[in-house]
A and B are shown apart, each in its own frame.
Chain A
Amino acid sequence: MIEVKNITKTYGSGDTAFQALKGTSFNIEDGEFVAIMGPSGSGKSTMMHILGCLDTPTSGKYLLDNKDVSERSDDELADIRREKIGFVFQSFNLLPRTTVLRNVMLPLVYAGIPEDEREKRAKEALISSGLTETHFLHKSNELSGGQIQRVAIARALVNDPSLILADEPTGNLDTRTGEIVLGTFQKLNREKGRTVVLITHEPDVAEHAERIIHLRDGVIVSDSKRHARRHARHDEAFVTNNAV
Chain B
Amino acid sequence: MKIEDTLQETYTALSANMARSGLTVLGIVIGIASVITLVAVGEGASSGIQSSIQSLGSNLLLVSPGAAATAGGFGVSAGRGSAVTLTEDNATAIQSQVSNITALSVEVSSRQQIVAKGTNTNTTVDGVNAAYEQIRNVQIDQGSFISDEQGQSLSKVAVIGPTVATDLFGTDTTQPDGLPAGIVGQTIRIKNMDFTVIGITVAKGSGGAGNQDNTVYIPAQTAQTFLTGNAGVTTIDIQADSANDMTQVQNDVTNLLLQLHNISDPTKADFSVLNQSDLLSTASSITNTLTLLLGAIAGISLVVGGIGIMNMMLTTVTERTREIGLRKAIGAKRADITRQFLAEAIALTVIGGVIGIVLGVGIALGVSALGFITTTISWQAIALAFGVSAVIGIVFGYYPARRAASLNPIEALRYE
Contact = CB atoms under 8 A, between A and B. Distances in A.
B334 A82 contact: no
B191 interface: no
Interface string A16-37: 0000000000000000000000
Interface in B215-267: none
A55 interface: yes
Given A95-B323, A97-B16, A98-B12, A81 B334 contact: no
Contact of A107 (B2, B322, B331, B335): B331
Contacts of A82: 330-332
B232 to A, nearest CB: 85
A75 B330 CA distance: 12
Given A54-B410, A78-B332, A112 B2 contact: yes
B161 interface: no
Given A75-B333, A93-B323, A95-B323, 5 more contacts: A78-B332, A78-B333, A98-B12, A106-B330, A110-B331
A75 B327 contact: no
A57 to B, nearest CB: 14
B12 A78 contact: no
Nearest to B5: A109
Lowest 5 A-B CB distances belong to which pairs? A82-B331, A93-B326, A107-B330, A110-B331, A78-B333
Interface in A103-130: 106-107, 109-112
Contacts of B181: none
Given A93-B322, A95-B323, A110 B409 contact: no
Interface in B148-180: none
20 contacts: A52-B329, A54-B329, A55-B410, A78-B333, A79-B331, A87-B329, A87-B330, A89-B413, A93-B322, A98-B12, A106-B330, A109-B1, A109-B5, A110-B1, A110-B330, A110-B331, A110-B333, A111-B331, A155-B330, A159-B330
Interface string B322-366: 110111111111111000000000000000000000000000000
A18 to B, nearest CB: 15
Nearest to A80: B331
Interface string A182-226: 000000000000000000000000000000000000000000000
A74 B1 CA distance: 17
Interface of A: 49, 52, 54-55, 74-75, 78-79, 81-83, 87, 89, 91, 93, 95, 97-98, 106-107, 109-112, 155, 159
What is the interface of chain B mostly: helix, strand, loop, or mixed?
Answer: helix
Contact of A110 (B323, B332, B410, B413): B332
A81 B12 contact: no
B4 to A, nearest CB: 8
B329 A106 contact: no
A42 B378 CA distance: 69
B14 to A, nearest CB: 12
A111 B329 CA distance: 13
B327 A106 contact: yes
A82 B331 CA distance: 4
Interface in B1-45: 1-2, 5, 9, 12, 16
Contacts of B409: 54
A74 B329 CA distance: 11
Contacts of A87: 329-330
B165 to A, nearest CB: 71
Given A54-B409, A110-B336, A81 B330 contact: yes
